[in-house]
Each structure stands twice: as structure tokens, then as C-alpha cells.
Amino acid sequence: MSYIGGEEVPPPENLTTTKTKPVSPGERRLSLAARLLEDLVKVPLFRCQRCGECILSHTAFICSQRCPKRLRNGPCGGTGEDGTCEVYPERKCIWYRIYHRSKKLNRFSMLFRTENIHNWELEHTSAWLNVFLKRIEPPVFFRKSKKKKESK
Amino acid sequence: MNAMTFKEKIGMEKFLFTSELGPPKSASAAAIRKKTAYFKNGVDCVNVTDNQTAIVRLSSTASAVICRDEGVEPIVQMTCRDRNRLALQSDLLGLGALGIPNVLCLTGDYQRFGNHPEARGVFDLDSIQLIYTADRLRKGAFLSGDTMKNKPDLCIGGAANPFADPLEFRVLRLAKKIAAGADFIQTQPVFDIDRFSEWMESVRKAGLHRKTAILAGVMPVKSARALLYMKSEVPGMRISGELIERMEKAGDPKEEGIRLAVETILELKKIEGIRGIHLMPLLWESITPRIAEQAGLIQNRPESIENGERNIPDKGMAGNPTDNKEKNRRKST
């Protein structure tokens, strides 16, 4: 087990969600309806890329999928000085922003877990519906309550 | 190869020395064979790059086979840019079947920087997830959960960039890679020792250097222009103005570049937690034996003397390449 700043970096358990059944046409239709609402919130607020497997709550409420490489586990090796993106030098690396925001919000340890390999079956579906259908894990809004659970 | 494998060497607490070979931009096996001659003396393993900087080159797996047949143990680099999870897993199984266990898992340079900038980047997995995938395969299971009978024997590596910002995140990425199953780590070339030491300190504080073999990257440069190019064009590099000035002032920039690389290696050897050096002679493979000798990287290798097949070069040159080639070919059959 590795520790950074006294907190544990857990080994990845199972990074695939392929055990879940394929999305049925009916569910897709339902997803479209749910996305009407979800997009209304997530697109203007977070510039949501509709991956359907939302990890916003882990990444300090900045959508990591705006990364050109769509990385889910932290920045690639190309972040320049002052945190510029290697692909679009006019932009800041999204992970550089996530790092600073999570530091500010005391959520840095939320980045410690290795995120799932993206399930492309869920691309363009509604993450809210997916949480409801237990396809993906629910967001973690309050870090403290999560910590208490772990200590139990 | 009857000598020890790279995996065994990692387990043996030896000071490791790896180098890098860029496959040609053509279907020339001869070009790879020619380059392998430089690595026969004292180099533990040679990285075979996978379409580096997104420029199409001979396949890394194919090059690795040629390399192995020449008697040089290869590390196959594997990027997530060009292949999805199906292809990556199938290539990893292929490596297992070929008996080439060493694989370096990378995310890959963005396609825009290469010679096919209009290409679609795949990035189905990232480097950490690829390490996880390889680890899962060697334990006998595919990502889908299916199991297999003949597991590939793999020695998994990852890369680390100690120079890109933010530093703490770089250590976290390393921790994630180790947690996912990386056996060895190779870093980006060091031009800024202070920053590297700072990074290593955080790595030691997290206890990561004990869980994996960290090989520090060193790149010999031919001119000040090369340094300037790296500074401006290669993202995530830290090169100080003093260094560029030093190269500019030098009478013979090539010699100065070699001296700089040797100095860096000697400095790096002093840092606690460094298990080896990874030399990246970008298209300058011929310089490897000379730097290795000057930095004292090919000493303390009794097996190379005992076998008598790996001659220690006398003055910087790799002995007689054709001679070695013949011997090694016999050795591998």
C-alpha cells in the first residue's frame, strides 16, 4: 500500500463495468428523456461531454473528459510550465485545474482511486439514470461522511 | 539468451542500465540490426519505441523480435494512442507467446504532433489502466472477465514525468501505476537535477522507491539547438537557460553533450532510491557504449567478462559489431 500525505492510494479492484448488461433500446429512449434535464444542468455548468459515467464528484466538479486524450486518472506527461495543455497551448490542462480546485476544496484524496476503464456502451447516456439503475456508482458529495463510513 | 533476464535483474538489486532504439521509418530489418550492435555491451535492456512522437515507424513488436534475435533483450513500448482494449490485450498475449516479457505501458503522444495529424486518437485506456490490464492478463484474466489457460509472462513498466506540473500529482500518478502493478518505472530525461531530487524526495516519502525499480532518464544532446527545440516543442520539459548557454559556448557541442550526459548520470547515481539509468539517445544510438563506459555503467558486471561474449569496449566503440553479431546469433539459436 502506498501513502501520500498520510492517505492511502488503494490498488485498483475491478476497473471494468462490462459485467453490467447492454443498454436496451428502451433504456436508451429513457436516457434521452433524462438527458434533457441533465444536459440543462451539466452542459452550461461543467461543459459536460456526456460520457455517461460521471466522475465529476471525484474531480472537484470539473469535467475531466474535456482533456483531449480523455484521461480519467490524472494528467499526461505533457503539462507545460504554468499548466498549459500540450495539445491546445492556449488552454490550461484540465487536470492542472482539477488539482488546484481539489486542493482548495480539500478533495485531493478523492483523486487517489484508479477510475474505471470507460464503458463506451454508456457513452451519450444519462449518468443520472445510470446511477438510478445502479450501472455506475453514485457521486460522493461530502467527503467527511465517506471517511466516517470507511473508519467503521 | 542464457544471461539473466531483465526481470531477474530487477529482483536482484542490481544497478540497471537501459537504452532506447527508434525503429526506422521503413521496412528495414538491417537498420535495426545495425543499431543493436551498440547495445551489446553492458546494456541490460533496450526500449523499442512505439511510433514515437506519433510518427509512423516499423512496429515495436516486430522490431523487438529482430532485436531479441540479435541477442539484445528488448522492452516493447506500447501506447494507448493507436489501439483499443482489444488490440492491446491481443498484442500483450502476442508478447507472451513470443517470449518477450518486458512491456512499457504509455498513454502516447497526441497524434497532432506526428506526421498524420488528421488521425483519430484512440485513447481507449490510459497508461495506468493499461498497466492494470497487463497485470490482469498475467494473472490469467481478460478485461471482460474471461480467463485463459496459458498466461503471458510479463514484466510491466510505466513512465513518469517528474518535471511537468503539478509535482504532487506526478507522485500520485506514480503511486497509481505501482498500485496497478508496475515492476519498473522509467522517467523522462533529466535536465533539471534540483527538480528531480525534489520529486524523488516526495517519492521516498511515500515509500514508492521500495516497491518498484525507478530508472532515471538521461538524454545526450548534440547541440544547443536540440536543447532549445526540446524546451519549446516538447511539452513537460524543464531546461534551464544556463544549460543552453553552456552548450552554446562549447567549442565542440557534441563532446559537451556527452560530458553533460555523463555528469548527469554521475549526479543521479548519488540520489537515494534510483535503481538505474535509462539512456535516451534520440537517433544517436551509436553514442550509448561511450557514455556507458565514461559513466562507469558497464563496470561491476562479472557475467559479461565470464561469458567472454560481451566484450567491454576499449575506447568508446562497441568493439567489432559484426563479430558480436555472429557470436550472438549463434548464442540465440
Interface test mutation site (partner A, options B85, B129, B131, max chain A beta carbons within 10 A)? B129
Spatial distance between the Cα atoms of B75 and B6, rounded to a whole number of angstroms: 9
Q: Establish if A148 belongs to a structural domain.
A: no
Please state, in angstroms and as integers, the Cα–Cα distance from residue B308 to each residue in B41, B96, B327, following that order: 11, 30, 10
Q: Establish if A19 belongs to a structural domain.
A: no
Q: Establish if A132 belongs to a structural domain.
A: yes
Shortest distance, CA A70 to any CA of chain B (angstroms): 7
Task: Please answer yes or no on whether A77 and B161 come within 8 Å at the CB atom.
Answer: yes
Instruction: Say yes or no: B146 contacts chain A, CB-CB below 8 A.
Output: no
pTM, entire model: 0.90
Q: Grid cell 490524472 — which residue?
A: A74
Of residues B121, B123, B179, nearest to A11 (C-beta): B179
Instruction: Say yes or no: B187 contacts chain A, CB-CB below 8 A.
Output: no
The answer for A 10-69 residues in CB contact with B (under 8 A) is 10-12, 15-16, 18-19, 68-69
The ipTM, to two decimals, is 0.92
CA pseudo-torsion sign B29, B30, B35, B41: positive
User: For residue B312, what are the contacts with CB-CB under 8 A and spacing of at least 6?
Assistant: B41, B42, B293, B298, B304, B305
Q: Establish if A103 belongs to a structural domain.
A: yes
Q: What domains does chain B contain, in order, with CATH numbers?
A: 6-323 (3.20.20.220)
Q: Establish if A49 belongs to a structural domain.
A: yes
CA angle B104, A4, B208 (to 5 degrees): 40
Spatial distance between the Cα atoms of B215 and B213, rounded to a whole number of angstroms: 6
Shortest distance, CA A115 to any CA of chain B (angstroms): 8
Shortest distance, CA B208 to any CA of chain A (angstroms): 7
Q: Establish if A129 belongs to a structural domain.
A: yes
B2: number of Cβ within 10 Å? 8
- Number of structural domains in chain A: 1
pLDDT tens, per residue, chain B with 333 residues: 457 899 999 998 789 999 999 999 999 999 999 999 999 888 999 999 999 999 999 999 999 999 999 999 999 999 999 999 999 999 999 999 999 999 999 999 999 989 999 999 999 999 999 999 999 999 999 999 999 999 999 999 999 999 998 999 999 999 999 999 999 999 999 999 999 999 999 999 999 999 999 999 999 999 999 999 888 888 788 899 899 999 999 999 999 999 999 999 999 999 999 999 999 998 899 999 999 999 988 754 444 444 444 444 444 444 444 444 444 444 443
Range of the domain at A112: 2-9+24-139
Name residue A3's beta-bridge partners.
Answer: A8
Q: Establish if A149 belongs to a structural domain.
A: no
Which ranges of chain B would DSSP assign to H, the alpha helix?
6-11, 29-36, 60-69, 85-98, 127-138, 167-180, 193-205, 224-233, 241-249, 253-270, 288-294, 302-307, 321-332
A152 alpha-carbon distance from chain centroid: 26
Q: Establish if A45 belongs to a structural domain.
A: yes
